[in-house]
Each structure stands twice: as C-alpha cells, then as structure tokens.
C-alpha cells in the first residue's frame, strides 16, 4: 500500500494493487498486537490500526485494487497472469511492477523433526490466523519450538485465550526475536524459555501427544542422551520466515541466497528492469516501519522509472558484507539516484556486545558506529551521507563488525 | 519491596534496553534506573517497580462481520495484575458489525480509566 | 447380503473392486480407516517397475511383468498421471557389472522388453548429474512413476461410480462362516457376503485368521523417504536405483510424477504394524546412501519426510489364492514391492479365481471404465481457463499458492464418489499441503471449503483419521484461567 501511494504521489498515472486475500492489509490484519508505527506515526499502533491508516490513504488517493486475486506468473518483460472469480483469467502488461509478497513460514520438514505426522503441528502464523480471525483455538497444551517474534507473540496470545504454553524452546543460546517480546510475552506470563534446546521427535498417532526435547550443542545439534518427554497436544513452530520469491524467480529476478530475496539497488529495483521489490519479500524485517520506508522508496522509484527519471548509468557501488555481517540491503548503489543520504540495512551473523560497525569506502573507513548490542534477531541500519559516496566514488562499500577489545 | 537491583527489559520500543532498576533514596523518584537509552526507558523502569501496567490487545466476537473476530485494544495501559480478569470481561462481549475503528466497546473497563476500543473497522458480511 | 465383500481399500482392494464392478454383483469395499489408500498405498516409492528384479517363476515376476504393460491403458481410463521415464540400475563398484548382468538375465527370463546394458559414458549422457564413478547400468525403458494413492483413489471413484459401496471406518473385528456366506463383524456394522476377498495389507494375516487357521504371517518392513522441492526434480531423468550389493538394496533417486525429487527407501523389519515414524538415524543413512548416486543433492530444499510399511509375507511371494479351509474366502496378501505395478494384473487374476469358485459372472452393460478427467487449472490453455471460470467461478480462486490449486478443484475432489472428506484427503487428491508451505497458507482455506461442502463445523474437520482433530475449540469459550486472575 505504501508503495502504491508513493507511486501515485510521484506521478504514476494508473496504479493497481493485486491482493490475494479478501481485503487489504496483508499479514498486518492478523497481527492484532501493538508495537507498530512508533517511527512512522510516532504512535504505538496495532497491526490492523497501522494497516487501516494506509487503507484510508489509499482509498482517498483513488488507487485501484483487486482483491481475492492471485498473480500466477510474472515474466521478464513485465507481463502478468492474474486470476480471480469475477474477471477470470487475465494477462496484463505493466510499465513497472513492485513485488511485495512477503514471506512464508519455515516448516517442520525444513528442520527435519522426525517422528509421526499427526495433526496438531502448526506454524505460528497459521495458528495466529485461526485464533485472531476465525476465532478458533489450535490446542490446549502447547509446546513451542523457535523464538521468532511471531512465536513469542503467539505464546502470549494463546495464554490469554486460555491455553497452557508449557515451554518455548530456542535451539541457540539466545532468542531469535526482539528482547522486548521475550519480556512482555514470556516473562510476563511465566512461560519458561529453554535456550539451547530442540525437539528431536514428535509423538502421537492421530493428534500430537507429546514431544521429545533434547539439549543442543554449539552447532545446534541435539545432544544424545539428553532427551526428555514433554506431554502436549500441540506443537507450534516459529522457525523463521522465508521470503516468498517463486514469482520473482519466474520473472528471472536474481536472488541473494543470504537474504532469500532479490538483489536490489538503492531504488529497490531488482536485476530485471522495471521490477521493484520491497518489504519482507526482499529480506525479513523486524519492524513494519522499516518496511514502510523501504516500500515508499520502491513506489517512488517505480514511478520515476516509468517517467524515465531514474538514472541508470553513472557511478555504481557494490555493497559487501564484511566480517560478522550476514547481508546488506541494498546490494548495489547508483549514486546519481541518491538524495541526501542512504540507509544501509543489515543483519549480523552472531551476537556482539559492545562493538562497532565499521563502514569502508573501498579501503577507507568513512563511518564508525558504536553498538552496545548486535544480534542476528534484530536488523540494524546505518545512515551514510551521500556526499561522501559522490566524493569518494568507491567501487565497494563494505560494513564489518569489530569488537571493542580488538 | 526488595532493595536488590532488578533486571528489566524495556518494552517501550523495539530496542529493548536491558536495564537495571533499584531503590535509591537519594534519587528524586526514589529509584535509580541504568542502561536505558532514553528517558521513556527510565520512566518505564520506575513504573515496573511501583505499578507495572500493560497494553492489552485481543479480539472480541463480532456478528455478522467478514471475520468471526474483531481485533480490539485497550487505549491505555492497565495494571498488569488485572489482565486475566479483563480478558474474562472482554470474552463475554459480542459486537455488531459494521463497526468503525476506534469505537468504544467497553468504557472504563474494570475501573481502570481506560476503554476497550475497536482496532479496525469491519464491514458486515 | 452382498455378493462380494472386499476387505481393505488400498491399491489391491480398489483394483479388485473396480475390476469386479464391471459385473452384476453387489459389492462392499470395506476400509478400516477414514479414507481409501491410507496404509501402505500412500507411503511407497510410486515406481512402476520394469520387472527384472523379481525371481523368475514367482507370482511377483508374473504379475509385475503383466501389470507393467497394463498401465498406459489403465491410467488413461482413470485420468491418472503416469510417466514411463525408464529406470537405471547403476554400477558403481567393480563387482556391480556382474550383478547388472544377472539382473538383465533375470529380466530376460521374466520376459521384460527393451532392456539394455549401458556403459559409463552412455549412462552419463542420459544422467549428467550422476557421480562420475558410474561404470555402467541396466536400462529398462518400461519403468515408470505414478502417485500410488492417486491411482487407488481413481480406482475407488470408478468402482463406486459403477455401483460398489465404499464403507469407510469399518474395521473388521470377526468373521464367521455360515452356510454359503460369511458374517463379517466390523467396528461400525455387521456385513454379510457370499464371498470375501482379503486385501487387508498389513493385517491380511489377522483377517485370514478370523476365518481360517493361520498359514502365513505378514511382517511390517518400514521404509523412510525424503521429498525435495519441485525445483530439484530435474536432478535425474529416470528412476535411478543403486545396484544391490553387500550394503543391501540401496536407495533410489527419482523425480515424482509432479516433479518433486524422491529419495529412499531404507528397509527395517519392525514388530509394530502401526509404526510409521521417521527416525533421525535412518534418514541420515538414506541421505548418506543417496550420495553414492549423486553428490550435491539439495537436501536443503526438503519439503517432507515420511515412512511407509511394506506388508512382507512369510512365504516371500504374493499370496493370491482361495483359502483351503474357508471356501469362498480369497486371500490377496503379502503384496509388497512390486505390488503397485502388479495391482492391475492381480485384480484380473482375482476375478479369474472368483469365476472358478463362483461360476461365470454376468458382465454389466452399463459399466463405465472411464473416470471423469480431473481438471488441473494451471494446465489449461488461456481460453480454457477463461471459459472455465466463466462457467464456474470457484476455479477463479487460487487457494494453494505453492501448487496454484483453485477452489474449484478442491470442491470437485470433495464432490466425487469416494471423494475427500479430510484435509489430507484433499492433499492427496488435488495437492494443497504438498508444497513448500506444507499447508501453512492453505490449511485454513481447505478446512473452510470442506466444512462448507460437507455441511460440517470447522471444528469437526480432521486431518486424516477420525481422532485427528485440528482445532480444539473456539476462543471466547468459558475459559478457565487456572487461577491466573489475581484479586484486586
């Protein structure tokens, strides 16, 4: 929605949102908790409240949208195949496309939990939809594997609706989601957080009856002999999100294996000209506010692209994740398209306390940022003055982590 | 109330500062909060020791909405120890669609001074 | 009183049912579970074997060879996807070529057509992704792949369309011989039938023992599998077997008929006929064994692991015969590999057997061997898509994003005879739940559609068996917060 609004604002004449659900808002409609909009609106909003702000603005801007409509295919030359019950099957041609398909959840199979395959194993997001929109409980006695934010939120949510969450397990020595969620979802409700534990077997013939819990070693591998049986009727999995890029792949968009999403430049344009991407489909975000920032950039750029205002040639900088950095978005920077500054988004590979993020233009350090606490579960960002980039004209812009004592 | 330092994770914003809060007669508030990155964190830390409150978000039954449940929120923070009692009261409510975002569903819930309001607009199905 | 009671609606029971449904007979197809094909049939390799592997002169050899040749016609009549992609038994060790030669000769003795022995270069040309160490292979072009449950479901549908009564959730508990017929007690109701055909798979011995003295034993032999993402299916072009040797039979690599990559199985004799757990150690074994065929198998694109139980007979061969003790009771037991391939031929044999026992059977004039084609929306041409949505808007709503399956397809799967009534039943018939998200996105929608079409509440919808409930109640019920409320 943010991309569409911004595209319209910046001169795109016809903008259409294609949404597969029966209403606008996407995943926000099931995120009924608060914590959204602290940066964008300076208010503490719930997911639906945040979404409704954009829905209202969208409707006021006269942007068209198709609901209950699925995009079946996107081609490299910007042809789309879409389907819904009213218009039927359609082929469209776009002047520019913005991809904002979000993520899917990591499944049990992706982490290979052996055992039986009974009913009662849910990913946190699916359980969230059942609970918050359809109004169904998914179980009464719940074990959770994974400490992503969605899981932590659901642990609280399920407890509030009368279920017993027996424990939340983290395979690593630290939780995957934000510490504030550990505090207000687990600590507040006395839900045990078991770090360095995992599930090695699912038990139950037709419905989950229990799980075998084992301790893990430094490589997150289960320690043989440490297995303990926990009785439960539900296993909730919050093992992380995977950007959903099947459509992107079909269009020939180049993906970064480190993010799972498209390689993008400063305008959020992908490797295919005219196809832009923003939000969770590019990389998994923690804050919707950053998603909105990114999406506005993509929408504006898409409009500029259509109006031939994006500068395609000129100095090009490649960003390079250095020591301790898993990935940096954007991957490429066309300096001529920058305004005053550029925000680099990144995630670290492990936990760092009391360290510095060091930004280098080729071999020269241009920025040092002190960070008390860096963890893979929380996205970081660093703002770089565009002037420096225009001056230095580096080929590579790298970021690395350096511990204070080094 | 113990005079030992308590570790508090601030929940005001996603940074989640790990703070320490302890009674301190010499400070104007009576408490000393450290390792907070902003003033809001200090306020929160003190509050946690004196009168912890929370924002409650949940759902209520709605008929005949496009979904079976309407997301709702308390437009303020209620005492932490009233959460489950609040849930019991909220669970009894059934709202009629259509409803506008921000509509008051329960005024002054459990005498907390806060209202339960609709977290979104929902059309009738 | 039924003329025939068939016990077990797996691949054998449904094949027999469909074959017999061409005759003027009152037939009951009795199944203990909540859907057809719920046992071994849904959890095996889905390979239609060429037939060189079986011992010449055995039932296995006879029915494998015969059955294989029947698959094109059968799958066309029943609108079941089937691909003859051929198979390779690859030689990796120095003594393997000898074994390959042996298999080849066995194949000749079994009358298997078109086999060839290939050298390493030829194999690598056919299969560029195999390990460079491959020195040769036995190539059998008549091997093929299919979704085994798909075939059983299609057979069941066709059988019921032609008058067979499908009785689900009927577990046979006792069989009493009476004059000229059998009294069958089940967990649901009593059934009387003149003839009984025992196709009870893993429990065929126990079913036999209800009517006559024990004379064979069925031992469960578990095999575990990996299924990898559709993007990985093109790793191999044919079914690639490892040469049987000191390490056992080896594991196979094959693309499935829908393009996923299938890897497995291992073999483990068990005691428990219900133990279909996957285990970490055996999955690791399969992973390591598979690396002998090809390195760089993208296990990180794994979509699912599962396990199935083979019904291994103590006689080491298919048991297809009338019980010597109980006249009119036909055992079709011990149908382990190559049971799926043999199924159509076994069904014909059972009918022949029945005719010798019961006398000539009257053919139906109105027998329709053709099953209405299953529409896969994404496979239609543009104008067909438009036309279909115009006629039936439900085909305009995609409910499974991973496999692009429409609501129309789901509704169709529910409305057919022997149709889906469970989430897994939908999964096996039209594929939502088989993709990358494993039902995360589509499960609520599938459940909604099932509830609506079957006139049930969402809470009544189950995954598989009757006790496999998915939802445990509604929110806002009378919640006991277990003393979490504190007094003010």
C49 is catalytic: yes
Question: CB A135 to CB B61 under 8 A?
Answer: yes
- What is the span of the domain harbouring residue C294? 87-141+219-311
Does residue A127 share a domain with residue A214?
A: yes
What ipTM is given for this predicted complex?
0.93
Percent of chain C scoring above 90 in pLDDT: 90
Q: Which two tokens stand for residue A335?
A: 């300096």
Which 234-293 residues of chain C touch chain A by CB within 8 A? 274, 276-280, 283
pLDDT for A43-81, tens place per residue? Answer: 999 999 999 999 999 999 999 999 999 999 999 999 999
Question: Looking at CA atoms only, how far is residue C200 from chain A in angstroms?
Answer: 20
Please give the angle made by the CA atoms of C279, C280 and C286, to the nearest 5 degrees: 90
Structure tokens, B37 = 């990155």
In a domain, C188, yes or no: yes
pLDDT digits (tens, 9 = 90+) for A353-378: 889 999 999 999 999 999 888 888 88
Same domain, A129 and A190: yes
The answer to the question of residue C269 being in a domain is yes
Q: From the list B58, B71, B80, which residue is nearest A160 (CB)?
A: B58
Three-state SS string across C257-302, please? CCCCEEEECCCEECCCCCCCCECHHHHHHHHHHHCCCCCCCCHHHE
| pLDDT, averaged across chain C | 94
Quick check: A85 and C397 CB within 8 A? yes
Domain shared by C107 and C133, yes or no: yes
| pLDDT exceeds cutoff 50 at C474 | yes
Longest alpha-carbon distance in chain A: 66
Binding partners of B (≥3 Cβ pairs within 8 A): A, C
Average pLDDT (A77-101) is: 97
Average pLDDT over residues C204-231: 95
Query: Is residue C271 assigned to a domain?
Result: yes
Chain B CB contacts of A179 under 8 Å are: 9, 16, 18
Distance CA A130, CA A123 (A): 11
Residues sharing a CB contact under 8 Å with residue B60, sequence separation 6 or more, in sequence order: B69, B70, B72, B90, B91, B93, B94, B95, B105, B116, C476
Write the DSSP symbol of residue C112. Answer: -
Q: What is the DSSP string of A133-191?
A: II-EE--SEEEEE---HHHHHHHHHHHHTT-EEEEEEESSSS-SS-HHHIIIIIGGGT-
Of C475, C476, C485, the CB nearest to B85: C485
Give C316's DSSP letter: S
* Region C121-137 average pLDDT: 95
- Which residue of the set C49, C95, C181, C383 is catalytic? C49
Of the candidates C311, C328, C348, which is a domain's last residue?
A: C311
Residue A92 CB: number of other CB atoms within 10 A? 14
C471, part of any domain:
no
Per-state percent for chain C, helix, strand, coil, to nearest 5 = 35, 25, 40
Q: Which chains sit next to C, with 3 or more Cβ pairs under 8 A? A: A, B
Calculate how close chain A gets to C468, using CA atoms only, in Å. Answer: 4
pLDDT at C187 over 60: yes
B-chain residues near C488 (CB < 8 A): 81-82, 85
User: B72: closest CA among B92, B52, B53?
Assistant: B92
Band of the pLDDT at C481, cuts 50, 70, 90?
low
| Contact assessment for residue C52 and residue C68, using Cβ atoms and an 8 Å cutoff | no
The DSSP code for A223 is: P
What is the per-residue pLDDT for C484?
58
**Interfacial residues of B (vs C; Cβ cutoff 8 Å):** 59-61, 69, 81-82, 84-85, 87-88, 91-92
The secondary structure of residue C171, as a DSSP letter, is -
**CA A215 – CA A223 distance, rounded (Å):** 6
| CA–CA gap between residue C418 and residue C13 (Å, rounded) | 14
Q: DSSP for C69-92? A: HHHHHHHHHTT--EE---EEEEE-
Domain membership of residue A405 as a residue range: 314-406
Q: Determine whether the interchain pair C475/B88 forms a contact, defined as Cβ–Cβ distance below 8 Å.
A: no
Tokens of A82: 């879409």
Helix or strand (DSSP H, E) at A277: strand A275-277
Q: Are residues C279 and C292 in the same domain?
A: yes
Contact B58 A48 (CB under 8 A): no
Lowest-pLDDT choice from A143-152, A357-366, C98-107, C226-235: C226-235
Q: Evaluate the CA torsion angle C226, C232, C238, C243 in order and state its sign.
A: negative
The pairing of strands A234-237 and A121-123 is: parallel
Please give the Cα distance from C172 to C205 (Å, whole number).
Answer: 13
Residues A213 and A245 in one domain: no
List chain C residues with CB under 8 Å of B88.
479, 481, 485
**Domains in chain C, number:** 3
- The answer to whether residues C225 and C268 touch, using CB atoms and an 8 Å cutoff, is no
Contact B88 C481 (CB under 8 A): yes
Residues A111 and A227 in one domain: yes
Q: How far is A342 from chain C (nearest CA, A)?
A: 34
Quickly count: other Cβ atoms within 10 Å of residue A260's Cβ.
20
User: Could you tell me the CATH number of the domain that includes residue A229?
Assistant: 3.50.50.60
Q: Cα separation of A188 and C271, whole Å?
A: 47
Averaged pLDDT for residues A196-201:
96
Q: How many domains does chain A have?
A: 3
Residues C110 and C165 in one domain: no
Matching residue, tokens 């009378």: C478
Q: Give the pLDDT of residue C488.
A: 34
Task: Please state, in angstroms and as integers, the Cα–Cα distance from residue A41 to each residue in A10, A149, A178, A356, following that order.
Answer: 21, 22, 21, 30
Per-residue pLDDT of chain B (125 residues; tens, 9 = 90+): 456 778 888 888 767 888 888 888 888 888 888 888 888 888 888 888 888 999 999 999 999 889 999 999 999 999 999 999 999 999 999 999 999 999 999 999 999 999 999 999 999 98
Q: Choose among A136, A200, A206: nearest Cβ to C280.
A: A200
Buried b (16+ CB within 10 A) or exposed e, C142-175: bbbbbbbbbbbbbbbbbbbbbbbebbbebebeeb
Domains of chain B from N-terminus onward: 6-50 (no CATH), 57-118 (3.10.530.10)
Cα C14 from Cα C8, distance rounded (Å): 8
How many angstroms separate the CA atoms of C149 and C11, rounded?
7
- pLDDT on residue A61: 95
The verdict on residue C55 lying in a domain is no
């Amino acid at each position: 929605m943010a991309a569409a609004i911004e595209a319209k604002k910046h001169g795109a004449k016809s903008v259409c949102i294609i949404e597969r659900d029966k209403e606008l808002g996407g995943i926000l409609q099931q995120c009924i908790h608060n914590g959204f909009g602290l940066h964008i609106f300076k208010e503490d909003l719930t997911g639906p409240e945040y979404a409704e702000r954009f829905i209202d603005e969208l409707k006021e801007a006269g942007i068209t949208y198709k609901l209950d409509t699925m995009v079946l295919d996107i081609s490299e030359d910007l042809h789309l195949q879409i389907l819904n019950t009213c218009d039927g099957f359609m082929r469209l041609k776009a002047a520019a496309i913005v991809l904002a398909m979000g993520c899917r959840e990591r499944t049990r199979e992706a982490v290979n939990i052996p055992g039986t395959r009974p009913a009662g194993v849910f990913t946190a997001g699916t359980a969230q939809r059942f609970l918050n929109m359809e109004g169904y409980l998914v179980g009464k006695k719940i074990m959770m594997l994974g400490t992503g934010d969605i899981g932590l939120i659901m642990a609280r949510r399920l407890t509030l609706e009368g279920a017993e969450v027996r424990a939340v397990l983290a395979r690593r020595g630290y939780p995957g989601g934000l510490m504030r969620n550990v505090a207000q979802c687990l600590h507040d409700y006395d839900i045990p957080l078991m770090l360095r534990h995992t599930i090695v077997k699912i038990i139950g013939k037709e419905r989950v009856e229990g799980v075998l819990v084992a301790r893990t070693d430094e490589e997150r591998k289960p320690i043989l002999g440490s297995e303990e049986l926990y009785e439960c009727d539900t296993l909730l999995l919050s093992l992380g999100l995977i950007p959903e890029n099947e459509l992107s792949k079909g269009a020939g968009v180049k993906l970064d294996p480190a993010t799972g999403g498209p390689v993008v430049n400063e305008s959020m344009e992908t490797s295919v000209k005219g196809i832009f991407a923003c939000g969770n489909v590019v990389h998994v975000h923690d804050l919707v506010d950053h998603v909105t920032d990114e999406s506005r950039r993509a929408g504006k750029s898409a409009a500029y692209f259509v109006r031939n205002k994006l500068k395609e040639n000129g100095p090009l900088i490649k960003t390079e994740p250095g020591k301790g950095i898993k990935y940096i978005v954007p991957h490429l920077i066309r300096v001529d398209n920058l305004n005053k500054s550029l925000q680099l988004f990144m995630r670290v590979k492990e936990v760092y306390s009391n360290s510095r993020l060091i930004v280098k233009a080729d071999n020269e350090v241009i920025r040092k940022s002190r960070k008390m606490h860096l963890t893979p579960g929380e996205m970081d960002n660093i703002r770089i003055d565009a002037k420096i980039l225009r001056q230095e004209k580096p080929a590579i812009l790298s970021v690395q982590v350096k511990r204070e004592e080094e | 109330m113990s005079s030992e330092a308590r570790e508090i994770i601030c929940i005001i914003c996603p940074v989640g500062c790990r703070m320490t809060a302890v009674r301190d007669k010499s400070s104007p508030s009576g408490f000393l909060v450290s390792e907070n990155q902003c003033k809001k964190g200090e306020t929160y830390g003190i509050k946690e020791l004196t009168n912890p409150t929370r924002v409650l978000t949940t759902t209520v039954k709605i008929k005949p909405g496009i979904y079976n449940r309407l997301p709702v929120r308390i437009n303020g923070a209620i005492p932490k120890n009233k959460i489950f009692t609040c849930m019991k009261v909220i669970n009894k409510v059934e709202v009629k669609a259509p409803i506008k975002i921000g509509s008051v569903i329960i005024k002054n819930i459990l005498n907390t001074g806060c209202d339960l309001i609709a977290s979104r607009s929902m059309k009738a199905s | 009183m039924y003329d025939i009671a068939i016990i077990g609606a797996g691949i054998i029971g449904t094949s027999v049912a469909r074959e017999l449904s061409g005759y003027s007979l009152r037939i009951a197809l009795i199944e203990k579970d909540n859907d057809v094909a719920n046992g071994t049939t849904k959890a095996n390799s889905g390979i239609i074997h060429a037939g060189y592997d079986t011992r010449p002169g055995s039932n296995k050899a006879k029915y494998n060879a015969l059955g294989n040749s029947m698959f094109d016609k059968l799958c066309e009549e029943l609108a079941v996807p089937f691909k003859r992609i051929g198979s390779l038994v690859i030689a990796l060790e120095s003594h393997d070529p000898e074994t390959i030669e042996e298999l080849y000769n066995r194949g000749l003795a079994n009358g298997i057509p078109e086999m060839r022995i290939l050298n390493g270069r030829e194999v690598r040309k056919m299969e560029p992704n195999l390990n460079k160490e491959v020195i040769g292979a036995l190539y059998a072009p008549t091997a093929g792949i299919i979704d085994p449950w798909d075939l059983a479901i299609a057979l069941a549908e066709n059988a019921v369309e032609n008058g067979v009564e499908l009785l689900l959730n009927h577990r046979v508990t006792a069989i009493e011989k009476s004059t000229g017929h059998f009294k069958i007690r089940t967990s649901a109701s009593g059934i009387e039938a003149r003839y009984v055909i025992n196709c009870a798979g893993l429990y065929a011995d126990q079913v036999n023992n209800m009517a006559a003295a024990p004379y064979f034993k069925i031992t469960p032999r578990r095999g575990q599998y990996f299924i990898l993402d559709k993007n990985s299916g093109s790793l191999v072009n044919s079914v690639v077997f490892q040469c049987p040797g000191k390490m056992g039979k080896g594991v196979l690599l094959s693309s499935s008929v829908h393009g996923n990559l299938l890897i497995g199985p291992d073999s483990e004799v068990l005691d428990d006929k219900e133990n279909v757990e996957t285990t970490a150690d055996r999955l690791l074994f399969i992973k390591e064994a598979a690396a002998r065929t090809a390195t760089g198998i993208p296990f990180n694109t794994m979509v699912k692991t599962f396990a199935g139980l083979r019904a291994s007979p103590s006689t080491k061969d298919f048991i297809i015969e009338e019980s010597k003790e109980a006249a009119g009771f036909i055992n079709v037991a011990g149908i382990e590999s190559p049971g799926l391939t043999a199924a159509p031929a076994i069904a014909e044999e059972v009918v022949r057997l029945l005719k010798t026992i019961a006398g000539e059977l009257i053919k139906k004039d109105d027998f329709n061997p053709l099953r209405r084609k299953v529409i896969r929306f994404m496979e239609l041409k543009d104008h067909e898509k438009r036309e279909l949505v115009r006629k039936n808007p439900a085909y305009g709503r995609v409910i499974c994003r991973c496999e692009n399956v429409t609501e129309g397809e789901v509704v169709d799967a529910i409305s057919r005879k022997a149709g889906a009534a469970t989430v897994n039943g939908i999964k096996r018939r039209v594929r939502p739940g088989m993709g990358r998200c494993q039902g995360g996105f589509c499960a609520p929608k599938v459940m909604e559609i099932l509830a609506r079409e079957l006139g049930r509440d969402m809470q009544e919808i189950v995954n598989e068996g009757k006790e496999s409930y998915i939802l445990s109640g509604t929110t806002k019920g009378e919640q006991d917060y277990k003393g979490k409320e504190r007094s003010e």
